[in-house]
Every structure is written in C-alpha cells, then in structure tokens.
Structure 1
Amino acid sequence: MSLNNKQWFGLPLNLIWGYIAIAIFMTGDGFELAFLSHYITELGFTPAEASFAFTLYGLAAALSAWVSGVVAEIITPQKTMLIGFLIWCVFHVLFLTFGLGHANYGLMLLFYGIRGFAYPLFLYSFIVAIVHNVKSDGVSSALGWFWAVYSIGIGVFGSYIPSFTIPHIGELGTLWMALVFCISGGLIAIVSMRHIKTPHHMQNLTTREKFNELGRAATLIYSNRNIMLSSMVRIINTLSLFGFAIVMPMMFVDKLGFTTSEWLQVWAVFFFTTIFSNVFWGILGEKMGWMKVVRWFGCVGMALSSLAFYYIPQYFGHNFAMALVPAILLGIFVAAFVPMAAVFPALEPKHKGAAISVYNLSAGLSNFLAPAIAVIVLPYFSTIGVVVAYTTLYVLAFFLCAYIRVEQPGFESNETRAISTAKNVQIS
C-alpha cells in the first residue's frame, strides 16, 4: 500500500478532515464529562451511585475499545465509525429522554451503558486509518495530533461551551445540544473518509478466521509479555483524567466554593494544555525514544501533578488562578504517554489491528477503572484517598516501563548504538 507522506509538523494532510471530525464529535461527547456526575447527584442520587453510572459506562467503553481495532480492519474504519456514530445518537436521545428526563436510575444505567459502546468505535477506528495511511516512523507524530484534536473536542470545547450554556439553558439543555456536535462530526467523517486507503487483507477471511483474529486481541495480552506490560501502563495513563472529572467537581464546587462554570473552565484549561503537549510529546518521542518519554515524563510527571491537583486547591481555597496551575501541569504530563499508541503496533507488526485493539482495550479499561477506584475508595478515604491511589499506580507504571522492550522504527537506542559500535570495533 502506498502511503501519502505529505505532513505539516507531523499532521497527515490526507487525513485532515478525519481529524476535524474527531474534534467535533468528541466536543459533543465531552459536554457531560466534567458536570454529569454532579448533575446526577443533584437529581437526588448519591456520589457512589453517580460514580457507578460512569463505571458501567466505562466497562462498556472498554469492551467496545477492545474489538474496535480488529473490527475496523475487518469491515474498514469507515464502517466501524458509522456504527459508533449511529449508536451514540440513538442511545443519547434515549438516555436524556427516559433516563435523566425522568430521573429513572435503572434506565439511566441501561441507556448510558449502551451508549458507552459508541464513542470507542468512532474514535479508535480512526487510529487504524492512521496506522495504515502513515509511514511507521511518522506514526507517533500523527497520533500526537490525534490526541490533540481529541483534547480540543472532549476537553476544551467540551468544557468551555457548557460553562457558558449551563447558566442559560441548564445541564439537560446542554446535553441536548451535544447531539448537534456529534451529528456534525459523524457526517463529516462519513463524507470525508470515503476515499481514504483502508486495510483489505482481512476482508476476504472466512468467518472463522475473522473470529480467530478478533480473539487474538485477547490472546496477545498473555502471549506477548511486552504487550501485557504496555497494556498495564496504558491503563494507568488516563486514570487521573477520567477519575478527576468525576471526583473533583464535588471537591471544587461543594467544598471549595467554586461555581460549576468556574470548575468547567479549570478543566478546560487542563485539556487546552494537552492540545500542545500531545503534539510536543509525539514529536519528542520520535527523537528521544518512546519509552523514555513515557517513563520519565509521563509516569513521574503524572504522579506529581495528580498530588498537586489536590493539594494546591486545598491550600489556596477558592482561588481560580492557583487552581489553573495543577490543571496545566496535569495537561502537560498526561500527554507524555502519547508514544504508547505507536508502541503497540510496533510490538506486533504482523497483527497491527489486534495490537491496536489491545491498546484501545487498555484505554477503555482506564475509563472503567478510574471511576471504579473512586467508588471503592471514596466512602472510606474521601477525595485524597482516590488521589493517592492514582499516584501510587503512576509510580508502579514507572517501574513497569523499565521492562518493556520495543524496536522503534527510525530510532537507534543507546543500547543498540553500543552494540553496533562494539561490532564495528571488532570488525576493524
């Protein structure tokens, strides 16, 4: 397959409308992220019940993410994105109408849970399109842009827009407005990606062979030790991102006196920072080394900034300017895990779709475990317990990174250079 190599600072120009579609779609999907848990408690449910709704949603997202890579290779990324787009729209309407609209907890769990299958199919299938349309030594930069537009959507616009609309049309009205963005993003993706090159090597497989390849997304976790360790690191990556969106509104709004709009603007600054840090770490990963960036800047940086996100606001109280400091730090270092998306297919070059599915599963499990940890820890240790739990796991990821071995295309590690130099000396 010939690849279009035209790029602008690592951004593949042949996929630019796909990137725009991701940004718009994830804007709509992100409206709820930083205020839905608080809104559910305002309807009369407990923080634990609100967290459980997110836990169920995260479990559905994890399962969907797991199969998305292989499914995208089997039926093409375009068709997989279409399926995710349709599921999102249908069950979002049902969730708002019969779940939140009637404060029916059972229907909330049902429709919100099913909707959790949608966004990973739309979002992560685009990674397959990137991997098959960009040369391997440029994938890290292209994925940096992918996570940048993801942040623009789910974090920046997804937080800033509700901060202005909620005072005027309320939380439920804002959630209805999200449907407009998701429909727009979905239609742009459907139209713009019709002629994008797609993998064809699996479309002629028998049904049994397709199921075998789908199963490989699970077996890789225990058959490839490096994939297993990388999966654990990727799960830990976004724990604070998904967890803080749930537990921090209760701390900032209910205990420190911030308004919901102020909290949403703090959260938007976090995501705004990731726009630049995603691109920066993606490019630096190609120069400095994928795992070195992940270990020293991702793991260490997230451990420290997660603690800062709790202690700085606690110390300074209702101080908007100081609350932005840990938000910016978190935004800088969470993106240092971007090279992990390039690590997985490099570890299994003959089964890239399955490897990407494991990556996606790991991202989905992060979405599931972050609120699950909050559900378990909150009743006993409050917000600080959740923060310490996440921090401890980032420290664990630091040590796991030391055992991951991956050959990075176009990059010669110090160890490889040393071996090469030794051989040259012996030859001479």
Structure 2
Amino acid sequence: MTQTDPLSAPKLSFAERLGIPAPLFWGFVGLLFFMIGDGVEAGYLAPYLEGHGITSRDTAFLFTIYGVTVSISAWMSGPLSDLWGPKRVMWIGLVIWAVFEVAFLAGGVETGSYSFMLFAYAMRGFGYPLFTYGFLVWIAAATPARMLGSAAGWFWFAFSGGLPTLGSLFASFAIPVIGEMSTFWASLGMVMVGGLMALLLTKEPTGSKRLAPKETAASTIFFSSLSILWREPKTFIAMIVRTINTSSEYAFLVIMPAFFTKVIGFSLSQWLQLLSIVFLSNILVNLLSGIFSDRVGHRTVVAVGGGIGAAIMVPAFYYVPQMYPGNFFVAAVIGALYGASLAAFVPLSGLVPQICPKEKAAALSALGLGAGASTWVGPAIVTWFESWHGIEGIIWIFSGLYVASALMTLALTVSPEARRYLEKMAVRERNASKAAARGDIASDLALGERA
C-alpha cells in the first residue's frame, strides 16, 4: 500500500506559485508582447509627426480623438464579453488594431495626410482595449477568488510593462538601427505575435462562452454597466479618480518629448530610455502597492501615495531636470518616483469591487471607462491649456487634479451592508474549500488503499 499524507497540499504549478492562473498563463505572456508592440510608438510618435510638418496642436488633437475611441472601447469590452465571450472580443480587438495600423502607416503617415491619420488612428483606438480589457474580464471570470488579486496585479504588470516601458525601450534601440518608419512597422509584427500567442495557446474554456445568462437582453447588459454610475455614486467617484490617475501620463507623451530633447538637451534615445525607467518603476510598484494596501488600507495608499505623491512628483518631473540640465541620472530618479506615484492608484481595482460586491463586473467597467477616458483627457488638457501658460501651466493643472483625487478617494468607503455581504461570501468560499479538501483527501486515501 502506498502511504499518502492526507495533510499534504496539492502541488502548485510554476505559474500558480507566481500568482498566475495556470490555464491563462499564455494569455499573460501574449498580453505582454501585444502591449510592447502597442507601446513602441508611445515615446516618439509625437516628435516624429511634429518633425514631418504636423503642428503640436494637431498632434495633441490626434491623441485626444484616439483617447475618445479608446475610452468607448474600454467600456464596451465588458458588455461585449458578457454577450459574446472574452475570447471573441479579443479576436475583434486584434483584427481592428492590425487593419487600422496598416491604414494609419501606409495611408496616413507615409503620405503625410493628416485627415487620414486622424481617421485611421481613431479607429485603431477601438482595438487594444477590446483585446486587453477583454482579457481582464476573462481573468475575472476564470480565476478562483483566492487568486484574483494577484492575477489582477499581473495583468497590470504585463499591461504597463509593455505600454510604454518595454515598448519605448525597444524603440530606443530599434530606431538607430532600422529607422523610425521601420520601427513603426515592427510594432505591428510584435502586436500580431502577442495577440496570436494569447488567443491560440490559451485553451481555458470559460473565455469562449457567453458570460451573461442567455435570458439577459443585450440592452440590459449595456445599460447596467452605465446605470451603476448613478445607482452607486461611489463608482462614479472612483471613475473620476481613475481618469485623473494616468491622464498626466498621456499628456506627457505629447509634451515631454520636445521638452526633454529641446530644453533639457537629451537625445531622442535618451528620452525613450528615460520613459522606460519611469514605467519600469511603475510596473514594479504596481505589484508592491497592492500588497502594501492589504496592510495599511486601499484608500490610504491611493490617497497618499497616489494623489498626494503625484501632486508633488508631477511638478518635480518638470522643474528638477531644469536645475540639472543634461543630467540623465537626476531625471531618471525623479521620473522613477513619478512612475511609482501613478502605480499607487492600483489598489482602486481591489477597492471598487468591495464597494459594490454584488456587481463587481459593472463596477470594474466604471474603472475601465475611467482608464480609457484618461487617454483623451490628458491630451485634451494640453490642447485646451497649452496657450495659457505653456507646459508650466499644464503641469500645475495636473498637480491640482491629483490633490482633488486624494480628497475624492477619502469618500470611497465600504458600507456596512457591503462588508456583511463580503464576509458572508468569504465564509461560503472557505467552507467550499474545506469541502473540496476533504474530497481530495478521501480520493487520495482511496487511491492509496487500491495501490
């Protein structure tokens, strides 16, 4: 008879030991490559266009319209995943990205047609949110509750690791070797490799199915993901805080390349490397802020580390490099602290589902809408206020917005009713785990006796 230890825990795979659901492992890897491709252009598209006759105002407007379509698509990814299944939504996002990237480069950038650029880039904006946020819905649907926090952390790690961290780093090395235009085309190849890797190698079945009950009408699904903003006002506040979170990031992608290359004296490659350092710090703190928030509280990390931290670091990122012109090390340190302050907003993703525990998907859709909105709000602030006091005025607008986000975060409390519901669900989950463990032990004993 084989001796079996009934107390031994089941062996975890390498992915599970890292906190990644094993059936979705290749989805995370593919997401990283997809976002590297999407992020290649982030640090140099604006200076490239301005160097080829497009005004800074027109460039900012291009990014603003792109951001509008991104925000619409980010919101649609949730309801569409409920209707069609996340995997189909991801396929649609990949195809949209590829088709309109070809149109943007061949019909817009290479011909110099601003109107065609505007159309193609705006349409491409529907692509990456359907792919990425569709995968986030897949994670939420297929991941055990005990792993949701770490899985969400790894999602944002892969997301921001590609856009713009490794994407900008790739561009900094590729541009001197193959040139700017060829680097744009290389990004398309990277996106396709990542997208196909995620979709063809990930076999987990939940993502291929409609998530909403069959009897639920499409109109009901779409309406509930919007109506939660006024039915649960705290989700609306969280959406605004999430919009502020990365709005400066997308504004800086418009205004900072010229600032660091023309005022501070960096080369384009140095700027791209600086951008990579900013977001390398960001992706590392993405994971750490979630862990730290479990100890000191989600609201504390978001309000202090995120809101107040970013309110200080945004002006520092502008003023300190001017005190040390050409000093890459000083700029890198300040940039890393700025990136860390943006990452301190990550616990919002854990706080909002606690505020609305019965409608987690709809609540996360509100955060998705905020994340998408930040991609156009940032460039829009540049478009509207650059003529006011130039870059300096824009810097102080963002600093004020971050102070406001810290104050708004204080209102994001979990109600007693929500706490009771969460405690009830936790007890139910623990009981289910114990029952499953007893069943596994009984099965192991039976196998041992037969042996």
Q: TM-score, normalised by structure 2?
A: 0.86
Query: Does residue 175 of the first structure (1) align with residue 184 of the second (2)?
Result: yes
Report the 3-state secondary structure (helix = DSSP H, G, I; strand = E; otherwise coil) of the residue aligned with 1:238. helix
Which runs of structure 2 are paired with 1:256-295 in the superposition (5 Å)? Answer: 256-295=264-303
Q: Are 2:25 and 2:202, in contact at CA under 8 Å, matched by a contact in 1?
A: no
Distance 2:177 2:305 in 1: 40
Alignment of 1:135-214 (within 5 A): 135-136=144-145, 138-198=147-207, 200-202=210-212, 204-205=214-215, 209-214=217-222
Q: Distance in 1 between matches of 2:211 and 2:225?
A: 17
Query: Contact (CA 8 Å) 2:71, 2:369: kept in 1 or not?
Result: yes
Within 5 A, what are the aligned runs for 1:7-406? 7-136=16-145, 138-198=147-207, 200-202=210-212, 204-205=214-215, 209-406=217-414
How far did residue 346 of structure 1 move?
3.2
Whichever residue aligns with residue 331 of structure 1, its letter is: G
**Paired AA for residue 100 in structure 1:** V
* Structure 1 residue 57, shift from structure 2 partner: 0.3
Structure 1 distance, partners of 2:70, 2:144, is: 29
Q: CA RMSD in A?
A: 2.0
CA distance in 1 between partners of 2:291 and 2:122 (Å) = 36
For residues 151 and 330 of structure 1, the distance between their equivalents in structure 2, rounded to whole angstroms, comes to 14
Cα contact 1:307–1:391 (8 A) shared by 2: yes
Structure 1 residue ranges without an equivalent (≥5): 413-428
After TM superposition, which residue ranges in structure 1, 4 or more long, deviate above 6 angstroms?
A: 408-412
* Alignment: residue pair count: 407
Question: Closer, same or farther in 2 for the Cα pair 1:343/1:72, shift >3 Å?
Answer: farther
Give percent identity, aligned residues only. Answer: 35
Q: Which whole-Å CA distance do the structure 1 matches of 2:401 and 2:17 have between them?
A: 36
TM-score by length of 1: 0.90
Partners of 1:409 and 1:27 lie apart in 2 by 42
Q: Which one has a bigger Cα radius of gyration?
A: 2
SS of residue matched to 1:351: helix
Paired with 1:38 and 1:363, the residues of 2 have a C-alpha distance of 24
Deviates more, 1:377-386 or 1:29-38: 377-386
The answer to which of 273-282 and 392-401 deviates more is 273-282
Counterpart of 1:191, as a letter, is L
Partner SS for 2:332:
helix
Could you tell me how far 1:109 is from its partner in structure 2? Answer: 0.2
| CA distance in structure 1 between the aligned counterparts of 2:393 and 2:421, rounded to whole angstroms | 43
**Deviating more after overlay: 259-268 vs 66-75:** 66-75
Deviations 1:399-419 (A, max 9, x none): 00111123579999xxxxxxx
- Is the 2:81–2:210 Cα contact (8 Å) retained in structure 1? no
**Deviation per residue, 1:107-157 (Å, 9 max, x gap):** 000000000011000111121122223344543332221111112211222
